[in-house]
Structure formats: structure tokens, C-alpha cells
Amino acid sequence: MKNYIKPIIALFTVILTCCTDVIDVDVQTDTLRLVVEASLDWEKGTTGNDQVITLRTSTPFFDTERTNVTGAEVNVTNNATGEVFRFTDQNDGTYTTSTFQPQLFATYTLEIVYNGERYVAEDTMNPVPNITDIYQDTEDGFDDEAIELHIVFTDFEDEGDNYLFKFERPQDLLPTLETGDDEFINGNEVDWWYEIDDDEDEEIKPLLPGDVVNISMHGISRSYFNYMDIVIDQMGGVGIFEATPVDVRGNCINTTNPDNYAHGYFRVTETNRVSYTVE
Amino acid sequence: MTVKLKRHYWRQRLFFCMVLLLMITSTQVVAQSTYTVSGKISDIKNGETLFGASVFLEGTSIGVVTNEYGFYSLTAPEGKYTLLVTFMGYTDIQQEINLTQNQQFNFEISEASTQLDEVEVIADEPERAILRKPEMSVLKMNIETVKQMPVVLGEVDILKSLQMLPGVTNNGEGTGGFHVRGGAGDQNLVLLDEAIIYNTSHMFGFFSVFNADAIKDVKLYKGGIPARYGGRVSSVLDVRQKDGNSKRFTATGGIGIISSRLALEAPLFKEKGSFLIAGRRSYADLLLKAAGEDNSVSFYDLNLKTNYKINTNNRLFLSGYFGRDAFELGENFSSSYGNSTANLRWNHIFNDKLFSNLSAIYSKYDYELGITSAEFDWVSSITNYNLKYDLKYYFSDTFKLDFGASGIHYEFDPGEIIPTTETSSVNPLILDKKKALETGLYVNAEHKLTEKLTAQYGLRYSAFSRLGGQPITEYANNQPVVYNEDLGIYERGEAIGETVYEKGDAIKTFGNLEPRASLAYTLNDNSSLKAGFSRVAQYIHLLSNTSSATPLDVWTPSGQYIDPQLSNQYALGYFRNFKNTAYSMEAEIYYKNTDNRIDYIDGSDLIGQNTIETEILKGESRAYGLELLFRKNEGKFTGWISYTLSKSEQRTPGGNAGGLGINDGNWYNTPYDRTHDVSISGSYRLNDKWSFGTNLVFQTGRPVTYPNGQYEYEGVSIASYSDRNSDRLPAYHRLDLSVNYKPNRKPNAKLKGEWVLGIYNAYNRKNAASVSFGQNIETGANEATRTAIFGIVPSITYNFKF
């Protein structure tokens, strides 16, 4: 529902954005924090053994450099079985394992020791329904001339399913992320559409024949949904009619020094991955 | 429990009656024979009754100003007097009276300038400092002044003009509503002919819903709110429509860039009545459609008023407003919203000392959204029925009493989803409808204590019952919001069940005593000191976590989880006229605090939210400031300089939810905080043909939240944000210019035309309505993007009257 109404608010803003320009602004600088990108996604039809966790630090807002974190200790534990998966430092900010055992509905704990401080996070692996159809059309979406992709799936019967979609077109620098839940569509066959609006200012082209779109669809926990929902809302910047931006908190707790919390998230999900070539 | 509540209630009623009795008896001092003269003051040209005209007995300090219906009544000892009627901009009238019995005198006065609708060289009475009345913190605007001010796109706008005065701001261009003394938009009670207007904006705030051609007068109470008003803690904007010309048929209209308007007025029933009908419509949508564009934005509104004089003592008024905004994007999205109101009033004069008015009022605001591609409609609304009875008793020349009662029945429909096809993947949904009853009883005295000291004191008792007919969710540990110690965030509480309240039950009842008082001490003929205190309760709240209100924001009543907002305001003022009222100066300081002001937890989600209590925390707000206004009231050049220095803050502790609260429980700026606000407005009348107007505005930037860092996640740079409202937009300033030209016309020509040329934001300042932060799509680098709504905007309007 919200997913439909939010664009409307964005559209109010579109009408107003007759005159936007890029300006120099002084911003405050927070202490630099550990950033955790620990996304253990179990792609359907694979073993899910190979997993990567990336650690970086945050940077001042206008800096363009990225700083990798090396020398951390990274482990993931299956809470029920007590099985521990060690992630090896690749000295480039990534930590990898090839022995991860994914299990639906299992809860996992991430533990990171970095700079003498210990961070922990927990998440539960949620299932994702199969994609039953992908097709293209122009009828729907904001622009009835632009091509949009449709992903069809049937929401699980029980209420409380949450989804994350990621759409990537290789020629674009940034992916599109969307969240969904079944609050208003529980148990229904869902047709989820994705469209790129023509934007002459930013030189973004709508979907055109020949374009490849890589799609991933994750079954996610409610708390991760809440996190991503805010992250996505604030991603492109926050306009006048959108909620005042907030500092979104992930699930990585610093148990040594709680004020020095980490950014990012530890998620475990079941995932569909597909590619679609626009005709 | 119920018994206790009732006893409490009766005790308050009793107290209320005692106060009333005390006030009446305390003034019965002299038994000398006195007589009363009463009547109505109206404009000779169109029969419109005049609000705020002075009627006094020359050589005495006995005087009164007319009420909203032009009625006056004054009482004096037996004797011969000269009665003087004055209203600035009008010719004075004198009448010799021999007061040996009660008498009635109705006066029709004529405008000082012989030609109609010429620029007023002299400001109207209300625009000078009013010294003797304890009334303070009040802004009155003459509709003619409003019409002369330069405005964006030539659309005359009462709300924008009020923002040129001290203590009134908006939240940036293109945003709706207004803010008074650091208060939120929903803390303003906006009345159009007594009916509540829930959304004052057209086109998301570019324009206001008030069509100046249909408006008689505008009064904004920034504080010292009289006891007859209640329900909003920040201000009362009382807008009254014209009654309609009772002398002859007139048509007024204008053709502008954005909209055109036409108002027709005429007498009815052999001058026993009259009517006004005014319409306004924008036409951007027609042009867009003609240009083959799918997207369109439009608004229109319709004002109606008619009155009928049954006899000297009884008069009926019927007024209505209907306005709507519509907006379409392609074929897939359509949205529309608007206010509708109706009011039937009965003025009854019991005798020459007792005036009464009974009103039955209906008011509704609704919002609709249709999404064809997703096959559903979304609708929400708020409706109220209001019955009120107000009386004014002109007891003696030193004592006047206002009293009355009102009851408002609210129906809140926060939202419904209606699938428009059978195959729609969206399920139907109805958010819980809510009902409530707000009642008020008041009494207010205007009491001249000595020759120099006048007091106004009163009491309002308000009660609010949230009515049943809906379930209320219950939460574990009675915590709709819970602080998560580990993550340091506020989360929604765990629902453990619900209680269903039957239709006859009250879910929750509140009652509040609201004392109001002010004093005026006349220092000399030209200056006075005033002080005021007011306590006001507010029972309904507009839910909005965006920096500017949007048309889809919904109102919600107080109840189980939301307490009424309670505010106390203290103000002190110094008022002075110079050079026999050619210049005037007003200075006020105020302090106000509001309890139970809610704010939204990080990541709150208000759209389609059935359990609002899981998204909010209860806090308090405070605002204080200094306001200065210096006016030049006479001469070829008239105008004012206004300056406000102020602070508006909020504190929201965790309370029952645990934790320190929003922003660690520290005070933070509200979005309405403006440290400095300077407005200069001037008009210069060269001759009968040409006149010029200008506005100059400077304001501290609006508090906003900017990023304080970034991190990469999912291939995207994510911003981390600093404390709530701890940054500011760049300062806002602009200059507007206008020229009015009245072409030569024959003295007897019926049609009178006028051209208005305007330039808004003359030096093309790009004032930031918002600054948003994101990644450049090509380079990936973070950047700050400013949205400026209006650059330099020239406009031309043609106004006519016949």
C-alpha cells in the first residue's frame, strides 16, 4: 500500500522540482564508525556455502574514498546447533567462508572483534516464494510509454512476510532497492512492477530493448525490513514532503562500548536471483 | 470510576457558575438612572456591516466598538450627548442625542475617498495601535491592504500577507499552512464564517483557500485568545465573508495568470437581504490538456453567503464554502482534496443590551487518491457538526460580558482502501473510524476598572469525549512504543489484544479549565501597557512527520494513548501612537509552553497506520520571543517594518517507552524555529492612477537535519544523519515589487478596471525550500541538491468591478 502512496508524495515533490541545483553545504562530521555489510544470502538451487562479509569504516559525507577494514575477527554461529563458521580476512575488507550451512528459519549470530571492541548481531533466515512469471509491459507504472518489468509471485499464506528487491542494470552506477510486505496483499498473487522513469536532467534512460536487468528478491526479517525501509526512503535524498531524515541504526551492537555502534546490517535470507533481457 | 468523574465534572460546573455570578455582582455599584443606545453600523455604499467601528460619547470615556455583526450598545447616565461614530477610512458621523430613554440608532457611514476601491491612503482603524482595549497579540488585516501587496503570480493571498507581520511564518515556499509564534500548523484554528477549515492550501500550499473578493475581514489571535474560542493552542484565524451588497448589484472579478475569479453581490427581498456568490478557478490544467499533456493540476472554490433580515431584532445568515484541488499524473494516478463548509446563523437581539447568535455549522475535509494501475482508491476524511450559541451582554459602560456554549461532533475516517477491480492485488481495508465530542462553556468579561485600567478576564471549560464504536489495541506492559536498549532505537510495542468499545461508551474523557486574562493600562493618550495570560487545550492533532504538511496527513483525536495538548502563554506589550496616530508602534514579548506535544520516533510510518500510538512519543514544546511592529499609517507612503526574534523548541523524553527519548531527551529546534524574521512592506500612492508596492523579507533558515557521515552498503552510499533539526537551511530573503495602474475613466462609467503588475523575488534569489543529499548518478559522489520553488516571477492581473 505504502509502496503505492510513497511515490505520490515523491510526485508532489517532482512537481515542485522545477528548479533544483547542486550547492555547497557545510555538514557536521560524526565519529567514524565500523560499517558491516554481512549479507548471507542463500540463493535457491545453490548450496549457499560460499559467503562474503565486507567491513569498512564510515567517512565524512562528501569524501569519495572508501576505507576497508582489515585485521578483524569474524564468526557466524547457528544459534540452535552451535555450529561456528569462521570468515577469513582477505586483507581487502572482505572476509570469506566456503563452509556456511544455510537453514530456513534458523537464527544466526555474527560476532566481530575489531580494535579491541566486540560487535554482535542476530538475524533469522526467512524463506522467499518462487517467482512464477516475469514479463514486460508499458501499461502500468508512472509513465505509460516506458517499459516496466513485472515479477509475479504468490505471497505465503501466513501474514508477516517481508521482501527486499534489488534491480541492477549493468550500465547504471546505482542499483534500485525496494522493500515490500504483505500487510495489504497477504496470500495474494502479487504482480510487482519495476520501471525506470525517463529523467532528462540526470540522463537516465528508461528500460529499452536489449537492456539486461539482474533481479534479486530476498525473504527478509521484519527488523531488516524496518531498517531497509528507512535506508531506501532516505537514499535519493529527502524532499520537502518526505519524512524528516533520521540516523538509521542497524543490528550490530558494540558490546564493549555501546555508543560506538556500527553501521550496516547482518542479514540472512533466502534469495531468488534472475536476469531478464528486455525485448 | 464513572461516579468520580461525574462528581469532578459537576464541581467544575459549579465553580464556573460561581465565577459568573461573582463577575456580574461585582459591578453593580451605582444605581443612578442610566440608558442605553444601541444599533448597527454599516457601509452606506453596499450595506456591509462594519466590524470594529468605534462609537463613543464625545467628551466622555464611554465608548464601544462594533461586534462581528456591526452591533453596538452603550450605556450612559441620563443627559445630552454627542454620539460620534468613527471608522478609519470612513467619514465620521455625529449625532446629538438626548438620553432620557433607551434608543436605537443605526448608522450608515461612507468611505472618506469619493471614488470606489481607490487605494486607501489612510490605514484602517484596526491597523493602528489600539490602546484602551486589553486585546493584544492580535493582527487584523484590511482586505484592501492585502489586495495591494505584491504576491507570487498575482494571486492575492491572505495567509501570505499575514506572514509579513510579526510572529507569523510559513515553512517555505510551496508549503501549506502557517506558523504562529513557533507553533505547528495544526495548532491554528482556522475559521471561515465560523466553520473549521482543516486544510488552508490550494496546490500543496502555493495559494490559500481564501478568495479575497469574498472576504470582509481577517483577524488573527496569536495569543490572548478570547474565551469564546478553544480547541487549538497556537492561534485563531477568524475569517469572515462579506454579507453581499444590500444596496445594488455589483460584480467584482479578476483575470490572472493562474486563476480567474468573479464575485456577484445583490440585494434580495427588497433590501431585506442580500447575497454573495464568488467563484475562482485555476486554468493551468486546461492549458496543459490543450497542449496534449497528461498531467494536470487544478483548483477551484466557491463562496456563498446570503442573509435575511426578519425584523430589526432578528437576522438569518447562511454561508458556505466549497473548494477542491485535483491533480492527475498520466492516466494512472489521480488525487483530489478539499474543504466543504456550511453555516446557518441566527442573530437575535433580545434587547438593547443583549445580543445573541446561534450557529449550526458543518465542515468537512476529504482526500482521495486513485491508482488505476494498482486498481485501488484511497479515501480519508474528517467531518464535524458544530452547534454554538454566543451571547454578549452590554451590562454597563464599564462592564461587558460574553458567554456561550458550543458542541462539536467529530467523525474521523483516517483511511479506506477500496479495490476498484475484482482482480486487484490489493485487499480492501478500513482503518478504524473514530468519533469524538468536544464541548465548551465560557464566560468572558471586559471590565473597565479605572479610567486607565481595563481588564478582560474569562474562563472556558472544555470537555472532550472520545466515543466508542471501535476497538483499541492493548500492548504488552501498556507500551505502544518500546525502547530497544541493545540497538538504541524505539520500536513498535507488542500488541497483546484489543478492547472493543460499544457505540454508547466513552473510550476516554478529558476536561480542562482554561483561564484567560489580559490587562491594559493607559499610560497617556498615546501609549499603553498590556499584559495577558491564556491557557488553551487542544484535543485533535494532525499527524505529520514530514517537514511540511501534505494533503494526505490525517487528523486524530485524543484518547487512550494521546493526551490533549495544553498550553500556557504569557505576553507583555507596549503600544504607542505617534503624531496623532500617523505612526504607531507595537512591541510584545511572549513565552508559551505546550504539554503533551507529540513527536515521531525515528522511522515512524504514518501512512495507512491504524495504530498511531506505536509511532509517537509524548513531549513538550516551548517558544518565546520578541515582536516589534512599526507602522506608518498616513500619507502618500504607508507601510510597516516588522521584526521578530524568537526560539521554538521541543523535548521528547522516552517516558513510558523507556530510554532517554528523541535526541537523547535534550531540547531540539522545532521546524518552526526562526531566530530572526524581518519583513518590510510599503506602498506609495503617486496619484489617482499609479501606485506602487514593495515587500522585503529576511528570515533565518528553517531547522533541518543534514548528514554527518556516509557509508557504503548494498552498492550505495548511505548517509548517517545528525541530531534532529540541528542544521539549518540557508537564510531566506527576497524582494517583491508591484505597480497598480488605473486607466482613465469617465466619472460615470460603470466599469472600473485596474491593472496589477508584480514581480515576486525581484533579485531572483534561489531560496532553498529544501536541501536533499544523495549520490550523483554518474560519478557516485555525494552532493547536496537545493530545491528552490520560485525564482523571479513576474505576473499581471486585471481586476474589474461594476
Interface test with B, best of A4, A22, A205, A265 (most B CBs within 10 A): A4
Nearest to B707 among A61, A186, A265 (CB): A61
Residues 584-603 of B with CB under 8 A from A: 600, 602-603
CATH assignment of A2-10+127-241+271-277, among 2.60.120.260, 2.60.40.10, 3.30.2020.30, 2.40.160.20: 2.60.40.10
B504 touches chain A (CB under 8 A): no
The C-alpha torsion from A234 through A235 and A240 to A244, rounded to 10°, is: 20
State how far residue A81 is from chain B, nearest Cα, in angstroms: 24
Q: What are the mean pLDDT values of chain B's consecutive 10-residue runs (802 residues total)?
A: 40 49 47 80 86 82 84 86 83 85 86 46 45 74 76 80 89 81 92 92 83 88 91 93 88 88 89 90 77 78 92 91 86 85 93 91 92 80 94 88 94 87 76 92 91 91 92 91 87 90 89 93 88 94 79 87 94 88 90 94 83 91 95 86 95 90 92 94 87 92 92 91 91 91 77 87 88 86 86 86 84
Closest-CA residue to B315 (of B70, B117, B493, B23): B70
Residues A247, A252, A258, A259: is their CA dihedral positive or negative?
Answer: negative
Query: A240 to chain B: which residues are within 8 Å by CB?
Result: 172, 174-175, 546-548, 769-770, 787
Given an 8 Å threshold on Cβ–Cβ distance, is A28 in contact with B172?
no
State how far residue A17 is from chain B, nearest Cα, in angstroms: 6
Within 8 A by CB and 6+ apart from B14, the residues are: none
Thinking of the domain B32-109, which architecture would CATH place it in? Answer: Sandwich (2.60)
Query: B600 to chain A: which residues are within 8 Å by CB?
Result: 243
Query: B721 to chain A: which residues are within 8 Å by CB?
Result: 234, 245-247
Say if the ipTM goes beyond 0.85. yes
B481 touches chain A (CB under 8 A): no
Within 8 A by CB and 6+ apart from B142, the residues are: B89, B120, B123, B124, B126, B127, B217
Given an 8 Å threshold on Cβ–Cβ distance, is A1 in contact with B781?
no
State how far residue A190 is from chain B, nearest Cα, in angstroms: 6
Given an 8 Å threshold on Cβ–Cβ distance, is A22 in contact with B784?
yes
Residues 117-176 of A with CB under 8 A from B: 139-144, 166, 168, 172-175
User: How far is it, in rounded angstroms, from Cα B377 to Cα B424?
Assistant: 11
Given an 8 Å threshold on Cβ–Cβ distance, is A237 in contact with B773?
yes
Residues 173-212 of B with CB under 8 A from A: 174-175, 204
The pLDDT of residue B201: 87
Is B792 in contact with B767 (CB distance < 8 Å)?
no
The pLDDT of residue B801: 86
The pLDDT of residue B415: 86
Domain extents in chain B = 32-109, 125-801
Number of A:B CB contacts under 8 A? 261
Query: B545 to chain A: which residues are within 8 Å by CB?
Result: 243-244
State how far residue B501 is from chain A, nearest Cα, in angstroms: 25
pLDDT tens digits for A87-138? 999 999 999 999 999 999 999 999 999 999 999 999 999 999 999 999 998 8
CATH class in words for A34-126+244-269: mainly beta
The pLDDT of residue A274: 93
Using 50, 70 and 90 to split pLDDT, how confident is the model at A172?
confident
B427-460 b/e (C-beta count within 10 Å ≥ 16 → b):
bebebbebbbbbbbbbbbbbbbeeeeebbbbbbb
Given an 8 Å threshold on Cβ–Cβ distance, is B709 in contact with A61?
yes
Nearest to A25 among B491, B706, B710 (CB): B706
Count of beta carbons in the 10 Å neighbourhood of residue B319: 26
- For B705, the closest chain A residue by CA position comes to A245
The pLDDT of residue A34: 94
Query: B201 to chain A: which residues are within 8 Å by CB?
Result: none
Nearest to B417 among A184, A242, A251 (CB): A184
Domain extents in chain A = 2-10+127-241+271-277, 34-126+244-269
**Three-class SS state of B61:** coil
Closest-CA residue to B261 (of B147, B337, B424): B147
Task: Categorise residue B609: left if φ over 0, alpha if ψ from -120 to 50, beta otherwise.
Answer: beta
Given an 8 Å threshold on Cβ–Cβ distance, is A231 in contact with B607?
no
pLDDT tens digits for A47-67? 999 999 999 999 999 988 878
User: How far is it, in rounded angstroms, from Cα B466 to Cα B543?
Assistant: 17
Query: B332 to chain A: which residues are within 8 Å by CB?
Result: 140-142, 144
Q: Please state the CATH superfamily assignment of the domain spanning residues B125-801 in this structure.
A: TonB-dependent receptor, beta-barrel domain (2.40.170.20)
A236 touches chain B (CB under 8 A): yes
State how far residue A119 is from chain B, nearest Cα, in angstroms: 11
Given an 8 Å threshold on Cβ–Cβ distance, is A19 in contact with B727?
no
Nearest to A185 among B427, B778, B783 (CB): B427
Using 50, 70 and 90 to split pLDDT, how confident is the model at A16?
very low
- Cell reading at B632: 506608518
- For A233, the closest chain B residue by CA position comes to B603
Nearest to A11 among B329, B378, B709 (CB): B329
The pLDDT of residue A200: 57
The pLDDT of residue B126: 41
Residues 368-387 of B with CB under 8 A from A: 369, 371, 373-374, 376, 378
Cα R_g (chain A), whole angstroms: 20
Given an 8 Å threshold on Cβ–Cβ distance, is B329 in contact with A142?
yes
The pLDDT of residue B87: 82
The pLDDT of residue B488: 84
Count of beta carbons in the 10 Å neighbourhood of residue B312: 11
Interface test with A, best of B720, B723, B724, B771 (most A CBs within 10 A): B720
Residues 413-452 of B with CB under 8 A from A: 417, 425-427, 429
**Three-class SS state of B698:** strand
A188 touches chain B (CB under 8 A): yes
pLDDT tens digits for A76-101? 999 999 999 999 999 999 999 999 99
Q: Does the pLDDT of residue A225 top 70, yes or no? A: yes
Given an 8 Å threshold on Cβ–Cβ distance, is B777 in contact with A16?
no
- For B724, the closest chain A residue by CA position comes to A246
B548 touches chain A (CB under 8 A): yes
Which three-class secondary structure string do you get for chain A? Answer: CHHHHHHHHHHHHHHHCCCEEEECCCCCCCCCCEEEEEEEEEECCCCCCCEEEEEEECECCCCCCCEECCCCEEEEEECCCCCEEEEEECCCCEEEECCCCCCCCCEEEEEEEECCEEEEEEEECECCCCEEEEEEECCCCCCCCCEEEEEEEECCCCCCCEEEEEEECCCCCCCEEEEEECCCCCCCEEEEEEECCCECCCCECCECCCCEEEEEEEEECHHHHHHHHHHHHHHCCCCCCCECCCCCCCCCEECCCCCCCCEEEEEEEEEEEEEEECC
